Amino acid sequence: MPDTAWHIIEVVVMLLLPLLMAGGLTVVERRLLGQLQDRYGPNRVGVMGEMQVLADAVKLLGKEDWIPPFADRPVFVAAPAIILMSVLASFAVIPLTSGFAVADLNVGLLFFLAMSSLGVYSVALAGWSSRSKYPLLGGLRAAAQLLGYEVFMGMSLLGVVMMAGSFDLSTIVEGQRGLWYVGPQFVGFVVFFIAGLAETRRTPFDLPEAESELVAGYHAEYSAMKFGIFYVGEYLGITLVSALMTVLFFGGWLGPILPGWTWFLLKTSILILVVIVVRAALPRVRYDQLMSFGWKVMLPLTLINLLVTAAVILAT
């Protein structure tokens, strides 16, 4: 059955590719941040420090996997698994190239939103089950942050959905032949980019971990590979958000000469680098600043964007 074999290949690629990219990103981010801050970053293992991933993995696997005696054991163990599952499940609907997606779901975009909203349980529960004050504060912030930005994250994507007339990601990419949606939906793109940073808990919005005030926030009590999973989960989240931005706003696999998947990977990689550079450029915002920014600036902005998009679509 060639169909089944092809499908298995799709599943394996869509599982391994994000994991490899996330693993590689741990080094890329540290090296790039080092360059931006006028220092070297890790450059000892391998030729340019690229084998640092393996060194880190060996170190994390070799450490004692300690569960605090005061922690809520089942939830403490389940929390890291939730983030990995929810993010990896989202990759199932991302089309790598024309016809190459694990699940060509006709509500693909909604599936991504559903999985991303489940991801926050991981952080909030990690904070709660640690049963100590800094993780709890980190978990509380994560839950509040999700409620704050999830509304405008979903609505920022509706402009694209209106223009493509579908929640299907492949159809959305096909609709961008001629003009990428980043042009007409520029406001939607900016809002989704900011929401994506909040979703992956990246630096202007990394309040749940905030190492300078909450030690390490929600994963302060985690050690060894459980900590490693949170770490990889964060990079998987960045990869996912970048891949989704590529699909929704930058024409996915569309591009001249080169095969589709190279264009997809190229665009995704550039967006990932932008996310990393943002971390080097911006300080962390305060908790109430994030909240008022989300509800008072971003939400009205997306509503106006929706209104204008709908008016333009009706007029043409």
Partner 1 sequence: MTVLFYIAGAVAVIATGMVITRRKAIHALLYLVVSFLALALVFYVLGAPFVAALEVIVYAGAIMVLFLFALMLIDAGRAEEARERDWMRPRAWIVPSVLSAALLAEVVYLLARGGVPGRTAAGAAAAGGAAGVGGAAGEAAAQVKAVGIALFGPYLLGVELASILLLAGLVAAHHLTVDLDSEDGETAGAADSGAPGRTRQKGGRP
Q: Does 311 bind partner 1 (CB under 8 A)?
A: no
Compute the least distance from the CB of residue 78 to partner 1, in Å.
Answer: 8
Burial of 259 (0-12, 13-18, 19+ CB in 10 A): exposed
Total number of residues shown for the chain: 316
DSSP 296: I
DSSP 283: P
Compute the least distance from the CB of residue 212 to partner 1, in Å.
Answer: 18
Of residues 70 through 89, those in contact with partner 1 by CB under 8 A are 72, 74-75
DSSP, collapsed to helix, strand or coil, labels residue 97 as strand
How far lies 186's CA from each of 109, 157, 238, 297, in Å? 18, 11, 20, 16
Residue in 27, 136, 214, 236 binding partner 1, rule: CB under 8 A = 136
Separation CA 109–CA 305 (nearest Å): 19
Q: Does 292 bind partner 1 (CB under 8 A)?
A: yes
Tokens of 135: 């993780």
Q: Does 247 bind partner 1 (CB under 8 A)?
A: no
Q: Does 297 bind partner 1 (CB under 8 A)?
A: no
DSSP, collapsed to helix, strand or coil, labels residue 100 as strand
Question: How do the residues of the chain divide into helix, strand and coil, expressed in percent and rounded to 5?
Answer: 70, 0, 25
If the CB atoms of residues 27 and 83 are measured against partner 1, the closer one turns out to be 83
- Point out which span in 10-18, 145-153, 251-259, 298-306 binds partner 1 (CB under 8 A): 145-153
DSSP 71: S
Q: Is 113 in contact with 153 (CB distance < 8 Å)?
A: yes
Residue in 43, 85, 89, 117 binding partner 1, rule: CB under 8 A = 117
If the CB atoms of residues 105 and 190 are measured against partner 1, the closer one turns out to be 105
- Point out which span in 24-32, 139-147, 190-198, 256-264 binds partner 1 (CB under 8 A): 139-147
Residue in 98, 171, 203, 223 binding partner 1, rule: CB under 8 A = 171
Chain contacts with partner 1 (rule: CB under 8 A) = 72, 74-75, 104-107, 110-111, 113-114, 117-118, 120-121, 124-125, 127-128, 136, 139-140, 143-144, 146-147, 150, 154, 165-168, 170-171, 287-288, 291-292, 295
